Amino acid sequence: MQGQQEKTFEKRLENDKKKAETSLRKLRAREFACEPDARIAAEKWGSVTKVL
């Protein structure tokens, strides 16, 4: 039973990592009018993204 839970946890962790990488890639591709706008977007990304 514990082995299955670990496998599920690892799979969920890997999925979260892939989602974070994808959303970060999209954020980095965006162009911003100024640095403060970019900082705000980065802070927002960090607050809504599951990052360990």
CB 49 within 8 A of CB 23: yes
pLDDT digits (tens, 9 = 90+) for 12-33: 999 999 999 999 999 999 999 9
Residue with tokens 């989602």: 19
pLDDT at 51: 66
pLDDT digits (tens, 9 = 90+) for 32-49: 999 999 999 999 999 988
Q: Say how many domains are in the chain.
A: 1
pLDDT at 49: 86
Specify the DSSP class assigned to residue 34: S
Range of the domain at 19: 2-48
50 confidence band (pLDDT: 50, 70, 90): confident
Quick one: which of 4, 10, 44 has its CA closest to 24? 44
pLDDT at 8: 95
